[in-house]
Amino acid sequence: MSDGWIELLSGFFWIFIQVGPVIFLLALGLFVGGWNERRHIRSLDRREKELKHMVINNLKRITAPDSVTQSNMVLGSVVIASDYLKSFLTSLRALVGGEMRSMQSLLIRARREAIVRMLEQAVQMGATEVWNVRLEFCSISQMRGKRGAASVEIIAYGTAVKRA
């Protein structure tokens, strides 16, 4: 083999060593991250169906307060991180601006999960209603100074009511 071919092959090998891990992580994010997201959505659909009997609203004043036998604050919180592919796509979108569609499902899943956890806590105390429901968005963060996944933190809270 001539020196020219050896240099060419070593150049290709060097490029593969540099780019290979990034391509691997993007592919891993595409397949494993997508599978994980679909599994989480199926779980949310099932759990929301089980909780459809619960009354949930954002009104501050409870109707017919005389019939309330117990009320407690209930809370559901969640932190969900995106996969490597979504973080990569988000960083590309940040360069040119615009809507970050790759992060929308992350926010939707986090909101749904926080509400479901709050309702599950209300069911555990025997409540059938949750009033004055509020959602707090804590942060979407990109790890500073390091390459890392974006994450979203959401807290859902309200007043769980048990009636006579």
The secondary structure of 120-137 as a DSSP string is: HHHHHTT-SEEEEEEEEE
Quote the mean pLDDT of the chain: 86
pLDDT for the residue 147: 56
Closest CA to 125 of 158, 77, 154: 158
pLDDT value for 129: 96
Q: Measured between alpha carbons, how far is 108 from 112 in angstroms, rounded to an integer? A: 6
pLDDT band at 19 (very low <50, low <70, confident <90, very high): confident
pTM: 0.78
Residue range 66-81, pLDDT digits in tens: 999 999 999 999 998 8
Look at residue 85 and tell me whether its pLDDT is greater than 80: no
Domains in the chain, CATH or no CATH each: 3-163 (3.30.110.70)
Question: Which comes out higher in pLDDT, residue 2 or 111?
Answer: 111
pLDDT the model gives residue 13: 78
